Structure 1
């Protein structure tokens, strides 16, 4: 430095390892496993590798656990993954070597995604299309935001990485009580032909919601459950079964690309937090607080403009913001921080829609296994995120250029996805192939909503022609498809009728001489 009269060392100069050990500055940070085991200098690759192996665990386990959720139910998988994650997470707090730490983090990674996704699927399978967006976003908006804002200050207050690891993993132990507190998915049970279990759960739900479960409704479930019991091949379906259907195959591939882009961008933005502010705790808290308005705006946007438009817009804008951050000089710390927070805001909106989209597009018989496969590919992409952030060593702009290119490209690919606003969940592979097939590439739910009044008048004028005859009603009662996500609302629309997604209709067969098609609102009063 003296000889060349420079202020900073040149990266091309030769280096040597410290021979007398290291002293760490704890004025801001507390001791971590990195400082405890000296993962610095020649060993600075170890933190990134341990994080990557965490996602390798998810890569290995998600397909298997997703299949298990379709085979044995959502609830057993939720409890099992939480308990394993609890034990492995606490064990990782007492590791004293790189091998043991990465091994336990690998096991935690095997469980962390599935216990969340299986719970998410269970929740959405119980609510109607009218409330899916609310139930998908409000819990995240309240509890995830609170946890993310509290975690940095908890870490600072505890000031010990081992104790902190125990504190954040120990609460998972209460998941054992879920076996008595949370019912299994009624939709999944019905698909398995377990009619008695389904009716038992729905009777309890009807009692809590003060909606009587009539004998006619029970007969509908029994008829459908008996039909499902006779067709064993409909109980579960694999990813390969889904890939044999052309429309489902295209949607599945696009959903995989979408989720890979979203997860690597979200994880990259979160990991890069330490590089955009002087205090990582404050910056992480601000970035966590962004979740609250982002979740609320997502809830409004997907109901007003639809899932597809929201996904495309948020991904593209997030990418453009990343390009702006990459172009800013390193000295503009505050500007870079707020622009990065804006990019985090948009990608948070995208990940909320991205979690809901596959659940609504994929059929019940393959929802768990295919969601697991999608999330597995997401973990493949997240495997690269620590190394993308590591590129900051060679230029602060490199991570943002890569994240920007990925999100813009991923957003444009999502244009081929169908719009699922106000649509029922498909149950079988046949449902998944036929649902949304009447939508064109330029389908716009906003345009359909503006013409809602006209469509209703046309529907009312043709009600007499479209009303099912008595013998057709009886046949529907025998072979009908009771939609448990509509809660006591049984859908059987005439094949020739085109139903607007912004005009959700529910055709309900009833056992009297004046059987006719009812609106979904009428059916919910049953």
Structure 2
């Protein structure tokens, strides 16, 4: 790597015609250590420390030989480089605690938000459940206590002998009402008409009164429930796009609380709607809060957790919090027995989320990105105290200096957009593949979730609970396999198996066999959905990761728009619905093989990294055996330590000041003085070793 012309000592160094090389020796020097300790005790900013060290070394030039002078000049350059190495969030986390008491409390704070996510996502499914046993209401025959007689007098039969759901006889029911012997009016040749006065529903089969039953969204109006669910996902698309921008401008905590408030208002107004237009409008509001009401706390917790704990925390939060609430949701609906009460009562716990402004911390990374570096440092100090970690003040000064010099300028000067991903051929191919895979996985997952409400109409609450119970072992299986066999093969195997079992279920003639195979398809759909959440964020480079993942998730919501119509096909044939889900599962699994493996690989940081990422991998590349089983590290030319928001390519730097500091290439020279060797090594390591001691 060529030296940067902006380095202040470059002209002098070029006159000497000498280059320096960092020593690999680990020898301690008492005079140098003493100098370092004095500098640490003095405190101050990193720039002040740098000046002090340069002055101390310059004062000793006269007492050294010419050989030593060259070595000390090399040491001066090393000081500048080492103090210029930026302390990243991922570098600081091990010092303040990667999964201490602070992170564990944050983990527990996810509980109410997982309930909100489960209610927002699944609540509408129960509000719009359509019963299978119903017939036309004839008010004139309400005096007839025998239901079988009422049906014989007013409802025609279908070809299979069952009573019609949507037709009634066009007869003089007033005469039948006052007739002494009603049996003489039995006549199957009477003309038929659609239901005029509503419907009578089987309350034994469906003890929960739904909006579908109240508004009569059956027969010719049965598509209203499907449209309402599609409007919900339309709101999710709008909310995902809007809240992504809102979170960058106002903070993660503001986005979290405001989205939960939107869910609260939408749910309360849902409970008082009187027609389809009002119901659809309120579900649009609730849909806009979907994803953000949980994703923000999900991201917030992961930002404070060390890298080695993130896979565990990400999946265990879904396994032990989200999965039980999804299993509880049908029984809450059944317990409240009325969709309006269900919507209002489940919205009340959302009020607790408004307390998050006082109970939850803001994202320290976001605080830095908007220039509130002092607040971020104070917050990280609080994390260290809560985790009972003793961190020297100079470490936080080092981190503050790094933020001032890099993060603020880097983020404010960022000019990357989603279009930047498509400027590199390999990255564009990965992006298209991830969009297609995520759309297939999202549709398969949501389709199986909704299919649980139509596959077993006689035991819908029991079967829905069993289907949601597959979330728990699915999340545990992800934890056990994802970091062992890698993302590619896990995504391929589990998505492919979901498709296989869906097709098997479609071919089953016995209902029990169909339900068993469909449950297996749902189980594997849970797993591949969780893998997709993590995989997309790892393939995209850091500088476009947030925008890219947001766009991929938005496209997933677009595909979810088609999920209610796919499930609606069960009205025609359950096999047809399962065939579509099965084919999509097979397609998504095959496409997963064309994405690169991220396990045992340093994740791409820049657009250049993204363009080269996965180039050396082949179709049979596996992280558990062969060449892929060893960690592949970046070339040593990279100067950075952490992994957050770093770039190295000259074309991708926005900060000229940071470009001077980061792009220094150490000069190589022959060091003949042992004292100078000790000085260089001590200066290189004092910042972190002193902090540890």
**Residue among 65, 68, 88 paired with 2:243:** 65
Distance 1:256 1:149, change over 3 A: same
Alignment deviations for residues 241-268 of structure 1 (CA, whole Å, 9 cap, x no partner): 3333444333322222122111111111
Is the 1:467–1:516 Cα contact (8 Å) retained in structure 2? no
Give the match for residue 325 of structure 1. Answer: 505
Is the 2:368–2:408 Cα contact (8 Å) retained in structure 1? no
Partners of 2:427 and 2:224 in 1: CA distance = 40
Distance 1:80 1:366, change over 3 A: farther
Give the match for residue 49 of structure 1. Answer: 227
- The aligned runs of 1:142-161 (5 Å cut-off) are 142-161=320-339
Partners of 1:173 and 1:205 in 2: CA distance = 27
Partners of 2:295 and 2:440 in 1: CA distance = 18
Structure number, greater radius of gyration: 2
Distance 1:123 1:357, change over 3 A: farther
Partners of 1:364 and 1:15 in 2: CA distance = 66
Partners of 1:2 and 1:41 in 2: CA distance = 15
Residue segments in structure 2 that go unaligned for 5+ positions in a row: 1-154, 168-190, 646-661, 664-678
Give the match for residue 490 of structure 1. Answer: none
Give the match for residue 463 of structure 2. Answer: 283
Alignment deviations for residues 274-296 of structure 1 (CA, whole Å, 9 cap, x no partner): 33222000001101111111111
Give the match for residue 673 of structure 2. Answer: none
Give the match for residue 248 of structure 1. Answer: 427
1:259 aligned to 2:435? no
Shift of 1:350: 0.8
Distance 1:410 1:272, change over 3 A: same
Give the match for residue 200 of structure 2. Answer: 23
Give the match for residue 228 of structure 1. Answer: 407
Partners of 1:436 and 1:5 in 2: CA distance = 61
Distance 1:2 1:33, change over 3 A: closer
**Secondary structure, counterpart of 2:621 in structure 1:** coil
Shift of 1:155: 1.2
Shift of 1:191: 4.5
Number of aligned residue pairs: 482
Partners of 2:260 and 2:549 in 1: CA distance = 18
**Secondary structure, counterpart of 1:377 in structure 2:** helix
Partners of 1:309 and 1:303 in 2: CA distance = 11
1:382 aligned to 2:551? no
Partners of 1:214 and 1:222 in 2: CA distance = 13
**Secondary structure, counterpart of 2:361 in structure 1:** coil
Give the match for residue 463 of structure 1. Answer: none
Shift of 1:523: 12
Between stretches 346-355 and 185-194, larger displacement belongs to 185-194
Between stretches 414-423 and 286-295, larger displacement belongs to 414-423
Partners of 1:233 and 1:163 in 2: CA distance = 48
Alignment deviations for residues 100-137 of structure 1 (CA, whole Å, 9 cap, x no partner): 00001011111112222233233333323311110110
**Residue among 247, 266, 271 paired with 2:450:** 271
1:391 aligned to 2:569? yes
Shift of 1:163: 1.0
Distance 1:511 1:299, change over 3 A: farther
**Secondary structure, counterpart of 1:446 in structure 2:** coil
- The aligned runs of 1:74-223 (5 Å cut-off) are 74-223=252-401
Alignment deviations for residues 374-419 of structure 1 (CA, whole Å, 9 cap, x no partner): 1221111111111111112222210111011111101111112222
Partners of 1:523 and 1:108 in 2: CA distance = 52
1:297 aligned to 2:514? no
1:359 aligned to 2:537? yes
**Residue among 493, 516, 520 paired with 1:313:** 493
Alignment deviations for residues 201-247 of structure 1 (CA, whole Å, 9 cap, x no partner): 22122222233333453244234311233345555743223333444
Distance 1:65 1:41, change over 3 A: same
Partners of 1:184 and 1:56 in 2: CA distance = 29
Partners of 2:335 and 2:303 in 1: CA distance = 40
Give the match for residue 372 of structure 1. Answer: 550
Give the match for residue 84 of structure 2. Answer: none
Partners of 1:236 and 1:142 in 2: CA distance = 40
Give the match for residue 117 of structure 2. Answer: none
Partners of 1:437 and 1:195 in 2: CA distance = 38
**Residue among 216, 226, 245 paired with 1:38:** 216
Partners of 1:270 and 1:207 in 2: CA distance = 43
Partners of 2:607 and 2:302 in 1: CA distance = 19
The alignment's TM-score, normalised by the length of structure 2, stands at 0.63
Is the 2:541–2:605 Cα contact (8 Å) retained in structure 1? yes
The alignment's TM-score, normalised by the length of structure 1, stands at 0.81
Distance 1:439 1:57, change over 3 A: same
**Secondary structure, counterpart of 1:23 in structure 2:** strand
Shift of 1:15: 7.4
Work out which structure has the larger RCO, using CA pairs closer than 8 Å and 6 or more positions apart in sequence. Answer: 2
Shift of 1:348: 0.4
Alignment deviations for residues 45-69 of structure 1 (CA, whole Å, 9 cap, x no partner): 1001101110011122212222332
Give the match for residue 517 of structure 2. Answer: 339
Alignment deviations for residues 440-473 of structure 1 (CA, whole Å, 9 cap, x no partner): 4443211269965xx89xx9xxxxxx999xxx9x
Give the match for residue 682 of structure 2. Answer: 513
